[in-house]
Amino acid sequence: MLTVLWAAPGPMTPAEIQRTLGGGLARTTVNTILSRLHEKGVVERRRSGRAFAYAPAREAADAPGLAAHRMRTELDKEEDREAVLARFVSGLSDADEEHLRRLLGG
């Protein structure tokens, strides 16, 4: 859905997004996803007649920032941050683990 919004020249209604996606999702599903994205601050919305029109809160170039934000949000939900980080790191590929080591200066 974000890909559609990033490619759009302006805000889009759920019906427009559904048509762009090819109609594979019910409009209620599109509305639910957009509402959840709005609650998380990923998209912005404004009134457009009886519906809302949605636009991305961040540019496509900031997709890595969005992913990092989601990771921090999930980490903040847990008391045992060390255990969460250990579990995350244990699931990394060798290449990703090496990237992380370089970023951490180790």
Longest dimension (CA), the chain: 55
**CA R_g for the chain:** 18
Does the structure show a pLDDT above 90 at 32?
A: yes
Average pLDDT over residues 7-31: 91
Confidence of residue 13 (pLDDT cuts 50, 70, 90): very high
Neighbours of 26 (CB within 10 A): 10
Query: For residue 105, is pLDDT > 80?
Result: yes
Return the pLDDT at 63. 64
Residue 67's pLDDT is 74
pLDDT tens by residue, 46-100: 998 888 999 998 775 566 777 777 788 888 898 999 998 898 889 999 999 999 9
Please tell me the distance from the alpha carbon of residue 39 to that of residue 51, in angstroms, as a whole number.
17
Cβ within 8 Å of residue 11, ≥6 positions away? 44, 45, 46, 48, 53, 54, 55
Q: Which residues pair with 48 in a beta bridge?
A: 51
